Chain A
Amino acid sequence: MSNDKALLLNPQKVALITKRFALQIVENHKSFENVAILGLQPRGIDLARCVKNEVSNLVGVDLKFGELDHTFFRDDIGRGEIHIPKPSKIEFSTEGMNIIIIDDVLFTGRSVRAAIDAILRYGRPSRIELMVLVERIFERELPIKPDYKGISIDSRKVNQKVKVDWQNDDNVNVWLLNQDKV
């Protein structure tokens, strides 16, 4: 099996997108009291934390922040792939909040569906938005689309994968991996 990869985003572009996300949050929300950011375990946490920090730098407001694991709400438990849960850390009620879910990649939409179910057990938010670094526009399996996206790509399901390589906050590369069939 041979692999090749193409660079989708370099660290400078990821930094720009993070700043853009922060500006969009500021632009779209009149008040920040009821706004909370939830990073999806495991790979949405770093991006969510960076966006929260950018918002704080821009307007001096610390948004409520949490880490959400949706494993127990997946629709494929016992269907082959193994899912090990990670901790959720949400120390506030989501009742009446504007929640922004942040993940690295949106593909089939099933993780986001599970995440919405997971959020609802902490209360009934007034609104849930979705922010992703990379949107894969084909092969969506549920009617879910992002409110904020870094880039959109038309990757195929069978032999392509998007990998977000988060070494540290200043060194993030996003790759498109092409995996030939065996």
Chain B
Amino acid sequence: MSSNNLNHLLGIKGLSKEQIDLIFSTADNFLDLLQAPVKKTPALRDITVANLFFENSTRTRVSFELAEKRLGADIVNFSSSSSSVSKGETLIDTVNNILSMKVDMIVMRHPAPGASQFLSKHVKCQIINAGDGTHEHPTQALLDAFSMRNHYKNNLSGKKVVIVGDIKHSRVALSNIYCLQLLGAEVMVCGPATLIPKYIESTGVKVSTNLDNALRWADVANMLRIQMERQDERYFPSIREYSTLYGLNMERMKNVNPELLIMHPGPINRGVEISSDVADSHNSIILQQVENGVAIRMAVLFLLAQKSL
């Protein structure tokens, strides 16, 4: 157990390998719990969690909500479109109003990078970052690494992971890079040069603009969606060209390691970054990722609730 007890989970950066191992071993127990006939525990019956989603979300929101409910927590859900934020209220005022109703923990998704970090300095409650702009998405990285670790029997050391697609606008990519490197994996990012951040190599990753070469190098391919909603200009000529150069299809799979593990954080744009037959193939663990997401979020909530992370 780490002595560096965290009050928040704001990002992977700042976590130690021991803390990640503790989250994983706790999630193992929750995975077991989720297989039992009764999937609920009353562990967080004293805790109220507010899910603040200032951006659209399906998977993450449902996953957090299920995790909270299975831990017995009381929950309140909030989305910016149906709230006083649209009337001009500031983030701190919104959150403090919610906290005055005796909320213990906040799960927040926000379009601004650093929003959860900012909030953690101004409000008195525990905060879990469920995605802040193009910055970090720590629980997604944890569930991705947890899924790989389970597939490779608890050892990611030396595994080669290529993250493919819109690296520039992806919070999943950055959190994955931090997390996988901490666990001893080698990471490569691959995509059009325009969608790879200029200084990404400073994180210690390899960079490729050729998907076929990258796939031949890799044990795992994590395919990312093109984040159209964050693109303020055109980064590539057309979706069709992107799909031709960076889409993972069965033709490409013929020339790579037959055991290549295929992952995707969702939502999938079938036919763009990944074809349907690859997404549904035996190489894919996309649905296991979703299942593991609930266990990982239960572990994070459980450990943060007793300030033991």
Neighbour of B42 across the interface among A84, A117, A122, CB < 8 A? A117
Known contacts A72-B43, A77-B44; is-contact A84 B36 (Cβ 8 Å): no
User: Does A158 touch B at the CB level, under 8 Å?
Assistant: no
Main secondary structure of the interface of B (DSSP, over half): loop
User: Does A135 touch B at the CB level, under 8 Å?
Assistant: no
User: Does B47 touch A at the CB level, under 8 Å?
Assistant: yes
User: Does B101 touch A at the CB level, under 8 Å?
Assistant: no
Chain A residues with CB under 8 A of B39: 121
How far, in Å, is A121 (CB) from chain B's closest CB?
4
The segment from A20-28, A54-62, A85-93, A159-167 found at the interface with B is A85-93
Question: A86 to B29, Cβ gap below 8 A?
Answer: yes
Please name the residue on chain B nearest to A83 by beta carbon.
Answer: B306
- Interchain CA distance A87-B26 in the complex, whole Å: 9
- Interchain CA distance A87-B41 in the complex, whole Å: 15
User: Does A104 touch B at the CB level, under 8 Å?
Assistant: no
Question: A78 to B44, Cβ gap below 8 A?
Answer: yes
User: Does B37 touch A at the CB level, under 8 Å?
Assistant: yes
Residues 80-108 of chain A, each 1 if its beta carbon lies under 8 Å from chain B, else 0: 01111111100001000000000000000
Which of B40, B42, B43 has its CB near the most chain A CB atoms (within 10 A)?
B43
How far, in Å, is B48 (CB) from chain A's closest CB?
12
User: Does B302 touch A at the CB level, under 8 Å?
Assistant: yes
Question: A84 to B43, Cβ gap below 8 A?
Answer: no
- Interchain CA distance A29-B39 in the complex, whole Å: 31
User: Does A144 touch B at the CB level, under 8 Å?
Assistant: no
- Interchain CA distance A85-B302 in the complex, whole Å: 10
Chain A residues with CB under 8 A of B22: 84
Residues 99-125 of chain A, each 1 if its beta carbon lies under 8 Å from chain B, else 0: 000000000000000000100111100
Please name the residue on chain B nearest to A81 by beta carbon.
Answer: B306
| Chain A residues within 8 Å of chain B by Cβ, number | 23
- Interchain CA distance A79-B307 in the complex, whole Å: 10
User: Does A32 touch B at the CB level, under 8 Å?
Assistant: no
Neighbour of A73 across the interface among B26, B30, B43, B305, CB < 8 A? B43
| Chain B residues within 8 Å of chain A by Cβ, number | 26
Question: B36 to A74, Cβ gap below 8 A?
Answer: no
User: Does B46 touch A at the CB level, under 8 Å?
Assistant: yes
Name 16 extra pairs, CB < 8 A, besides A75-B42, A83-B308, A87-B32.
A72-B29, A72-B41, A72-B302, A73-B42, A73-B43, A78-B47, A78-B305, A82-B1, A82-B307, A82-B308, A84-B1, A87-B29, A93-B37, A120-B38, A121-B38, A121-B41
- Interchain CA distance A82-B46 in the complex, whole Å: 15
Chain A residues with CB under 8 A of B308: 82-84
How far, in Å, is B102 (CB) from chain A's closest CB?
14
Chain A residues with CB under 8 A of B38: 120-122
Question: A85 to B26, Cβ gap below 8 A?
Answer: yes
User: Does B125 touch A at the CB level, under 8 Å?
Assistant: no
Chain A residues with CB under 8 A of B37: 93, 121-123
- Interchain CA distance A4-B30 in the complex, whole Å: 40
Question: B33 to A78, Cβ gap below 8 A?
Answer: no
Question: B28 to A87, Cβ gap below 8 A?
Answer: yes
Neighbour of B36 across the interface among A78, A79, A83, A121, CB < 8 A? A121
Question: A69 to B36, Cβ gap below 8 A?
Answer: no
Chain A residues with CB under 8 A of B306: 77-78, 81-83
Which of B28, B38, B40 has its CB near the most chain A CB atoms (within 10 A)?
B38
8 residue pairs from A and B, CB less than 8 Å apart: A71-B29, A72-B30, A73-B42, A77-B306, A84-B26, A85-B25, A88-B33, A120-B38
How far, in Å, is A42 (CB) from chain B's closest CB?
13
How far, in Å, is A67 (CB) from chain B's closest CB?
11
Residues 10-35 of chain B, each 1 if its beta carbon lies under 8 Å from chain A, else 0: 00000000000010011011101100
Please name the residue on chain A nearest to B26 by beta carbon.
Answer: A85
How far, in Å, is B4 (CB) from chain A's closest CB?
13
Which of A78, A82, A83, A84 has its CB near the most chain B CB atoms (within 10 A)?
A78
Question: B33 to A72, Cβ gap below 8 A?
Answer: yes
Question: B46 to A85, Cβ gap below 8 A?
Answer: no
- Interchain CA distance A85-B26 in the complex, whole Å: 6
Chain B residues with CB under 8 A of A121: 33, 36-41
Please name the residue on chain A nearest to B299 by beta carbon.
Answer: A85
- Interchain CA distance A69-B46 in the complex, whole Å: 21
